[in-house]
Amino acid sequence: MLFGFSFPTRKVMLIAWLLGAFITAVHAEPFQAGLNAMEREHYATAFRAWKGLADDGEAEAQNNIAFLYERGHGVKQSYTRAIEWYKKAAAQDSPEAMHNLGMLAFDGYGMRQDYLAAKRYFTAAAELDLANSHYMLGLIYYQGHGLKKNSARARTHFMDAAKLGSPIGQFMTALMLQNGEGHSGDKTEPLKAFIWGMVSKMNGYADADSLLEYSKMQLSRSVQAKAAELAQSCFDSEYDRCPT
């Protein structure tokens, strides 16, 4: 490996912060009231705003109630109740709830640590295009959690996360390109790495600077300038015009 770093083992979509498309009109106002309360860290108020919606079967509210129980915000902390509510939301195809169950299984919080169970939850959420779950699948394959390491699959999932807008997925894509990981030739690709590293930096991922400095050593100034233009094009196209 040519370049390494200490990367987090978590990337969690904990709560549906945006007003979801599946929130009915009658429920939109109390749901938003809960979001506003969360922003002010008025957790008990958020719980009250969402509890009735959760009881009525709103998956986004169920996921958020589960988060409050998981963290002990506004209620007594309870993994048992958190898992109960996450499962209700997941049964309604909430990718965030599936992901959160995966994180609990991955870390062994509230349940036995089980990487294969985590992988099943992440896979279900990734099939619904949740970027964070693609990132976690990439991490599982990259580090070999519960299964044999597979750099090709890791790169695929990191790339999927990158194209769905995940800054850390974009960084990991850049890292694997810089290291030449994930394809048969093991050939480093500093130009592509620089582009994805720039995109990750544009999205606020601080560790991208260290990778960019390494990539710069392998690229001329003129190539760096062109790569910066390509990175901007990638970013502006919402990741449609990006290297693979």
pLDDT (tens digit per residue) in 95-120: 999 999 999 999 999 999 999 999 99
* Higher pLDDT among residues 26 and 199, named by residue: 199
Residue 30's pLDDT band, with cuts at 50, 70 and 90, is confident
pLDDT digits (tens, 9 = 90+) for 134-150: 999 999 999 999 999 99
| Residue 45 reports pLDDT greater than 60 | yes
Q: What's the rounded Cα separation, in Å, for the pair 241 and 235?
A: 8
Question: Could you tell me the pTM of the whole model?
Answer: 0.90
State the angle between helix axes of 59-71 and 43-55 in degrees (0 to 180), rounded to the nearest 10.
140
Instruction: Give the CA dihedral 185, 149, 14, 72, nearest 10 degrees.
Output: -150
Identity at 195, one-letter amino acid code: I
The pLDDT of residue 20 is 45
206 CB-near residues (< 8 Å, 6+ apart): none
